[in-house]
Structure 1
Amino acid sequence: MWTSTRPAATALDSADALAGLRVRYELPPGLIRLDGNSGGAAPSRTSARLRKFAEHRWMESCARRFAPDWELEARTCAAKLARLIGAGECELTVAETTSVNLFKALVAASRLRPEHSALAVGRDCFASDHYLARSAAAYTGTELLLFDDLAELPFDRVAVVALSHTDVRSGAVRDPVATTAALHEQGVLVLWELSESAGALDVDLHAWNADLAVGCGHRYLGGGPGAPAYWFVAERHQRELGGRDRGCDGVLSQAASGFSGAPSTLALSELRHGLSMLDGVSGAELEAKTGGLVSLFVDRLLRAPGVEIVPPRRGRRRGPQVSLRHPRAQLVVAELFARGVVVDFVDPDLLRFSFAPSWLRYIDVWEAAEVVREVLEQLDRES
C-alpha cells in the first residue's frame, strides 16, 4: 500500500468496514493514540458505568445471593472472549494477571507431561513472564529453558514450549498453525501468549490446535488498567488435569478455574464492557484493518532520516505494532506527545507504535506519520 496524500487516506476510511466501531470509544480531541498495546482508548460511557457501579452494585449484590457477581461476570467475559480467540467458553478462565496465569499453565503442562524435566519459554515473552516461569519451574522441580530459537531446544526433555504470538519488541508474528504442528510432532505441548494479538489479529486457538494459552484483558480488548487476564486449557486436557466431566456446556471447567482467585467484580465489569465493543466483529476483519494501518505507517516512514524500522525476523510477518530505533528515542516520544501523538518508549532506544483497528482511522495514521517525519527531520537538522 502506498498512500501519499490525505485524500487517499480519507478514501480508505470511507471504504473501511470497521469505521463504525470508532464511536464506541472515548477519544480525547487533539490526540492520536498509537499506544493500543498499553491500554489505549476507553470504551464509551466508562466513567458513567463506574459511577453506577459505585452507587448501585453493592446493594444489588446483597439482594442477589444465589450466585456471586464475579462468577456471573467472569462467565459473560469468557463467552465474549471465546468468540474472539476461537475457544470454547468452558476452556477459558478470566482471572488474575497474565504472568500468574502463565505460572498456572506451566504447572498444568508439567502435570500433563510428568516424564519431561524442562519448561521452555521464549525470550520474546514479557520479562514478568520469565519471572513467574522461574517460579513454576521451581515449584514443579523442572528446569527452565529460555530460548531464542526453537531449534536449540532438547525436545526429549521439554514438557511445554511457551511462545509469544506477537513479539513485544519487534512486532513480528509467528505462524501458529505450523509452529504448533511442528512442536506436537516432537511430543511437546504448546502454550501461546496472546497479549499483543487478541483484539488486533485473527486468533483461533482451535484452528491452531493449541494446548494452552494466556493473555491480558487490556490492550486491544478494552478492559483498561488492572483488567483481569485469562487462560485457556484445551478441553482434551481437562479430564487429565482433574476437570469436571461436563464437556463444553458453558460451565467453566475445574481444570481451567480450579485454583483462581476471585477477580474484582468492578474490573470484570469493565472488561465485559470492553469486549462488548467488539461484538459482531471477526478476527479476520480486525487483522485485515490492522495490516492496512501498519502498511500505511511503514510506507510513509521508509525514507525518514535517522531512524531504523525494526524488521520482523526472517520468515515472520509484521503484527499490530511497529518499532523504530532512534538514538534519542525518549526525546522523540516526548516531542510526539507534545504534538498530540501518543506512543510508547522501550528502553534504551525504541519507539513502539501500536495500531488498534477498533478505534484508529487511516487518516489518523497518515497524520501521525507526518508528525513523526517532522520530528525526525527537525532532530536531523539539529544534529
Structure 2
Amino acid sequence: MLERARFLDAGDPLREFRDRFMLPDGVIYLDGNSLGCLPKATPARLEEVVREEWGRDLIRSWNTAGWIDLPARVGAKIAPLIGARPHQVIACDSTSVNLFKLISAALAMQPGRKVVLSEPGNFPTDLYMIDGMERQGLAKRRLAERGQLIEALDDSVALLMLTHTHYKTGETFDMAELTRAAHDAGALVLWDLSHSGGALPVDLDGCAADFAVGCGYKYFNGGPGAPAYAFVAEKHLEAARQPLTGWMGHAAPFAFSDDYEAAPGIEKLLCGTPPILGLAALEVGVDLIAEIGIDRLYAKSQALSEFFRQCLSERGVAIDLVSPTDPARRGSQLSFRHQDAYAICQALIGRGVIGDFRDPDILRFGFAPAYLRFEDMAEAARHLAEVLETGEWQRGEFQERAAVT
C-alpha cells in the first residue's frame, strides 16, 4: 500500500499546501477534527499584531489596523465557506456562548413554544445549554433518536437544534430535509457546524437554515480556543434578539448611552471586546482554507478516508467501524469502536500517530486534507495493525487516563 500511497500523493492537486503548515517530524496527525495544525503564516501575523499594532501603535490600532472590524471581517470570510452571505456571519465568543445567544433568540421569536428538540448523544455542550435554560424556566428539553426526529416535531417545538456532523461517529444529517420538516412544523432550526465548517460543503442559505454556530480551532486552524462564529439568516436579522447585551452589540457602542439599543445587523451578536489575537490567528487559517477550496478539500478527505479503510482491510484489521460506510454520509473522520479504545489510542500516540478517544469506547481519526498525505494513511494503518497484533496497548502506561482524552 505504501507504493500505491506515494503514487496517489504524486498526483494530489493539494500536495503543495502541506508545506504551508508546521508539522512535527515523526508525527502523523489525525486529530485535526479537534485542533487543526498551525499554519506557518500564523506566528508572523501574530508577531505583527503584537509588536507593531499593539506594541507600537497601541490603542490607535482599533482604527488604524481595523481591530474594531475584525469580527465582521473574519465572519464575512467564513460565510461563503458555509453557504452564507457576508453580512449573515460574525466571528465572536465561543461555540457554547453563541449557542446560548441563538437558542435564546429563537425562543423569544416563538411565543407559546418552549421545546428545544435535539438527539441523545449530541455534543454535550449543546445539550448542556438546553439543560441550563430549562433550569431557568426558559426552555424545555426534548430528545428524540435520529430516526424519530421528524415525528417528534409538533406544535410545541420552538427550535430543532442539531450538530450537522456528529462528533463521535462523523455521520452527517440531511440538512435540507430536516430544516424543511422543522419549518413545516412551525419550528426554527439551529445547526452546529463545528465538525463541518472548513471540511465539507455546507449550504445554509440553500437549505433555508435559520441559525448556525461553529468553532474556529478545528478545520479552520485558528488555534486552541480560537473564536467561534455565528450565522443568522437575513430574514431573522431584524427580529432576532440575543440576551447578552454587552456594549459591543450596541448600535453605537462609543456613544456610551445608558440604554441598550441593539445593532441593526449581525453585529448585534457581539457582546464584549473582541479578542484581537485570537481573531488575527483565525483569519490566517480561514484565508488558507478559502484559498484551497471546500470542494477540493472534501473530495480529498473522502479519498483519504476510503484509502485508510482499504489499508486496514488489506492488513486484516478487524475493528468495528461506527461511521457510515458511505463517504457521502459522513464528515472528514472515521470512528471505530473497541472496548480498549483509550489504551489503543495512547499506544498509537506513543508511536507518533495522533488520533483521539471519545468515551466510552470510540477511537477517532480525523482527516484534514490540507496537510495529510496518502502515505500517512498507509503508515497509520500499519501502526494500528501492529498495536493490535502485538497487544502493545496493554502496557501499563497506556492505561492511565489523562485529564484531556
Q: Contact 1:202–1:286 (CA<8 Å) still a contact in 2?
A: no
State how 1:69-84 maps to structure 2 within 5 Å: 69-84=66-81
Corresponding residue SS for 2:230:
strand
Q: Distance in 1 between matches of 2:214 and 2:122?
A: 11
Asked whether the equivalents of residues 32 and 340 of structure 1 are also in contact (C-alpha less than 8 Å), the reply is yes
Looking at structure 1, the residues matched to 377 and 48 of structure 2 have their Cα atoms a distance apart, in angstroms, of: 35
SS in 1 for 2:72: helix
**Map of 2:184 onto structure 1:** 185
Contact 2:28 2:376 survives alignment (8 Å): yes
Q: Is the 8 A contact 1:306 1:326 kept in 2?
A: no
Output one character per residue of 1:106-147: Cα deviation in whole Å (capped at 9) or x when no partner: 111112211312111333432122112223345562312133
Unaligned runs of 5+ in 1: 247-251
Question: What is the alpha-carbon distance in structure 2 between the residues aligned to residue 372 and residue 282 of structure 1?
Answer: 31
Matched with 1:375 is 387
SS at match of 1:322: strand
- Indicate if the aligned counterparts of 1:61 and 1:68 stay in contact, CA closer than 8 A: no
The 8 Å contact of residues 118 and 145 in structure 1, kept in 2 or not, is answered as yes
Q: Relative to structure 1, is the Cα distance of residues 259 and 319 closer, same or farther in structure 2, using a 3 angstrom cutoff? A: closer
User: Match for residue 94 of structure 2?
Assistant: 97
Q: Of 319, 329, 346, which aligns to 1:317? A: 329
TM-aligned CA deviation for residue 315 of structure 1:
12
Q: 2:275 aligns with which of 258, 264, 273?
A: 264
CA apart distance, 1:335: 1.4
Whether the aligned pair in 2 keeps the contact of 1:121 and 1:162 (CA below 8 Å) is yes
Cα deviation for residue 305 of structure 1 reads: 4.4
Q: Alpha carbons of 1:68 and 1:142: their partners in 2 closer, same or farther (altered >3 Å)?
A: farther
> Relative to 1, partners in 2 of residues 1:221 and 1:103: Cα closer, same or farther, differing over 3 Å?
same
Q: Please say if 1:9 is aligned against 2:23.
A: no
* Residue correspondence of structure 1 range 1-383 to structure 2 within 5 A: 5-58=1-54, 59-64=56-61, 66=63, 69-138=66-135, 141-149=138-146, 150-241=149-240, 253-254=264-265, 257-302=268-313, 304-305=316-317, 307-312=319-324, 317-379=329-391
The one-letter code of the counterpart of 2:21 is: Y
1:99 partner amino acid? S
**Code of the aligned partner of 1:143:** K
Aligned counterparts of 1:339 and 1:66: Cα–Cα separation in 2? 49
Go from structure 1 to structure 2 and tell me whether the alpha carbon gap of 1:119 and 1:315 turns closer, same or farther (over 3 Å shift).
Answer: farther
Moved more, 329-338 or 222-231: 329-338
Q: Secondary structure of the equivalent of 2:231?
A: strand
Separation in structure 2 between the aligned mates of residue 72 and residue 188 of structure 1, nearest angstrom: 33
In the other structure, the counterpart of 2:256 is none
1:249 aligns with none
DSSP 3-state at the match of 1:38: coil
CA-to-aligned-CA distance 1:244-289 (integer Å, 9 cap, x gap): 9x9xxxxx85455345222310000000011111133332222111
Using the TM superposition, give the Cα deviation of residue 230 of structure 1 relative to its aligned residue in structure 2, in angstroms: 0.8
C-alpha distance after superposition, 1:150-202 (max 9, x if no partner): 04524210011011111111111111122222222222211111001111111
Amino acid at match of 1:300: C
SS at match of 1:266: helix
Matched-pair contact (CA < 8 Å) for 2:76–2:90: no
Taking the aligned partners of 1:70 and 1:229, their CA distance within structure 2 comes to: 17
Describe the shift of the 1:213–1:140 C-alpha distance in structure 2 as closer, same or farther (beyond 3 A). farther
TM-score (norm 1): 0.89
Query: Counterpart of 2:279 in structure 1: which amino acid?
Result: L
SS of 1:144's partner is strand
**Is the partner of 2:205 in helix, strand or coil?**
helix
Native 8 Å contact 2:71 2:90 kept in 1:
yes
Contact 1:110 1:140 in 2 (8 A): no
Aligned length: 373
Question: Cα–Cα, structure 1 residues 64 and 42, in superposed 2: closer, same or farther, change >3 Å?
Answer: closer
3-state SS, counterpart of residue 370 of structure 2: coil
Q: Do 2:6 and 2:375's aligned partners in 1 also have CA atoms closer than 8 Å?
A: yes
Report the aligned-residue RMSD: 2.7
Deviation at 1:313, TM superposition (A): 9.4
Counterpart residue identity of residue 44, structure 2: A
Rounded to whole Å, the distance in 2 between the matches of 1:123 and 1:83 is 31
Q: What SS does the aligned partner of 2:289 have? A: coil
Check conservation: 1:26, 1:42, Cα contact below 8 A. yes
Equivalent-residue separation in structure 2 for 1:146 and 1:232 (angstroms): 24
Check whether the contact 1:172–1:316 (CA below 8 A) recurs between aligned residues.
no
CA contact (8 A) 1:124 1:148 kept: no
Shift in CA distance, 63/99, structure 1 to aligned 2, threshold 3 Å: closer
- For 2:209 and 2:175, how far apart are their aligned partners in 1? 8
Do the aligned partners of residues 242 and 35 (structure 1) sit closer, same or farther apart at CA in structure 2, a change above 3 Å counting?
Answer: closer
Cα distance in 2 between the residues matched to 1:138 and 1:87: 33
CA gap of 1:219–1:191, structure 2 versus 1, over 3 A, is: same
Query: Which SS does the other structure have where 1:219 is aligned?
Result: coil
What CA distance in whole angstroms lies between the structure 1 residues aligned with 2:80 and 2:348? 36
Contact 1:91–1:253 under 8 Å retained in 2 = no
CA distance in 2, matches of 1:316, 1:278: 20
**Unmatched 5+ stretches in structure 2:** 243-248, 252-262, 396-405
Structure 1 CA distance for aligned equivalents of residues 393 and 216 of structure 2: 42
2:363 aligned counterpart, secondary structure: strand
**Contact between 1:36 and 1:354, CA under 8 Å: does it hold in 2?**
yes
* Distance in 1 between residues matched to 2:129 and 2:264, nearest whole Å: 23
Q: Is the 8 A contact 1:96 1:230 kept in 2?
A: yes
Sequence identity percentage: 38
